[in-house]
Chain A
Amino acid sequence: MTIEDPHPSDREMLLAADGELSSRRAASIRAHFAGCWACRTRMSELETTIRDFIELHRSGLDPLLPAAAGPRALLKAQLAELAAGDHGESPLRLFPLSFTRTVAVCLSTAVLLAAAAMLLTRSSRSLRESAAIPVANLTPGATRPATREDVCRSEPDPNVRLVPASVRQKVFESYGLSNARPDAYEVDYLITPELGGSGDIRNLWPQPYSHTVWNAHVKDDLEDRLHEMVCDGTLDLHTAQHDIASNWIAAYKKYFHADKPIAR
């Protein structure tokens, strides 16, 4: 140890450990460590503290992280939705920026901004709707063998809608919602049992009660409407099953002749 080789400061030691120093200064500190037990001890204590912090941080949070499969599938669906409705998202980029068109660009800016705002609004609405629709590869819909007469019996089986707790848990897990508040969602049948839907997990999904305009209460109204139509003979059972499984929001708009939910 020499006067020209003083102990590095705490801050420098951390910078060195994190690889944030210049290579020259880092080499100098490494050389110092080679001859200084005290500094190596301090560095070891630093690493111990970092390790303890990481252990505390991870042990508190990692057990709470839901499985990634559900959120990943949801993101894919939403990206696909964005891509499908995304035809030249930035019209300003397509405008030539040559001098001769500068004036035209200026005059057009207000119109283009208005168009962009409309695109954004439409995209947001579309996303809100997609969040209310189950992820197709997790919940494609499934039916049980049932005829029109079966589903239109005057006394429906009161147990048919019960979803066992274990199945509910599996549904939440598959959608990455293991820690969601149960009262915020209805584990719903995509094809309702009153229309011949089965209790298979492929026919179940966690539908938010209030997260979106297109919530569980609205879908309940559609199910009632379709059941009435099937039973009064104005709609065949297979079509009802197909339409509600394909896109229940589109089915609502079709059978209620409305673009948004009708006030209850």
Chain B
Amino acid sequence: MPDTPPDSNSIELPLAVRPAAAFSSPRPDLESEVISLFDQLRNPLLRYVLSIGIRVQEAEEVVQDVFLSLYRHVRIGRSRSNLRGWVFRVAHNLALKQRESSRRHLGNADGSGDVAERRYDPAPDPEEQMVRSERRKHLLAVLRALPEQDRACLYLRAEGLRYREIADVLEMSLGSVSISLTRSLARLQRADGATGAWQ
């Protein structure tokens, strides 16, 4: 898949653990390392949380919160292993909360609306506007008909996460990730008009 960094099974901040005496001093290096991780992961994260079905502005706020949480996470000495998986897991959970909150808000406001159906600002569905061919329309229809967890597996894989990371983010087994991806791609392939045995 595109955008998969080489040797990207995990991302770790290289900072050495500091002695306790250094805890009260400023850590500009930690800030710059969090910013560096933001530079690497901001767009993949934004795409992923948008695909969950929240608005662009909400997605931007979720991503900000994720990296502030990351700073606190590392600052208090929690594990630095597989920070990419950690960042996506936090983003996933925050985006789901945000989506629920928006649904409640919309429900209170006008009693209607699935936020996921209006996820892309500013138009109600610009993705739909961009579909130029029947083939792509079919793909989109199949994609939307997939169970939410299957879609999430696809989107996370599309952003370069390995199966283990996807399993951690979505709290499912490694085997379930593999089965989900296989099943989803088979469905997409049928929509894609392929006639091979792949199914």
Question: Footprint of B on A, CB under 8 Å?
Answer: 10-11, 13-15, 18, 20, 38, 41-42, 45-46, 48-50, 52-54, 56-66, 68, 71-72, 74-76, 78-80, 82-84, 86-90, 93-94, 127, 176-177, 179-181, 184
Contact = CB atoms under 8 A, between A and B. Distances in A.
A14 B28 CA distance: 43
B31 A54 contact: no
B178 A80 contact: no
Contacts of A76: 31, 35
A49 B194 contact: yes
Interface of B: 1-2, 20, 23-24, 26-28, 30-31, 34-35, 38-39, 42-43, 46-47, 50-51, 55-57, 60, 63-64, 67-68, 71-72, 75-77, 120-122, 126-127, 130, 135-136, 139-140, 143, 154-155, 157-158, 162-163, 178-179, 181-182, 185-186, 188-189, 192, 194, 196-199
A15 B140 CA distance: 24
B24 A10 contact: no
7 contacts: A15-B178, A18-B181, A56-B143, A65-B46, A75-B67, A82-B71, A90-B77
A57 B28 CA distance: 36
A57 to B, nearest CB: 5
Contacts of A84: 26
Tell me whether chain B's interface is mostly helix, strand or loop, or mixed: helix
Contacts, number: 162
Contacts of B139: 52-53, 56
Closest 4 CB pairs of A and B: A60-B127, A179-B56, A179-B121, A90-B76
B12 to A, nearest CB: 19
A38 B195 CA distance: 12
Contact of B126 (A64, A93, A176): A64
Given A45-B198, A50-B1, A83 B50 contact: no
B34 A79 contact: yes
Contact of B192 (A10, A52, A64): A52
B185 A46 contact: yes
Contacts of A75: 34-35, 38, 64, 67-68
Given A86-B75, A179-B55, 10 more contacts: A10-B199, A20-B163, A41-B196, A45-B196, A61-B120, A62-B47, A64-B56, A79-B71, A89-B75, A179-B56
Contact of B121 (A52, A64, A94): A64
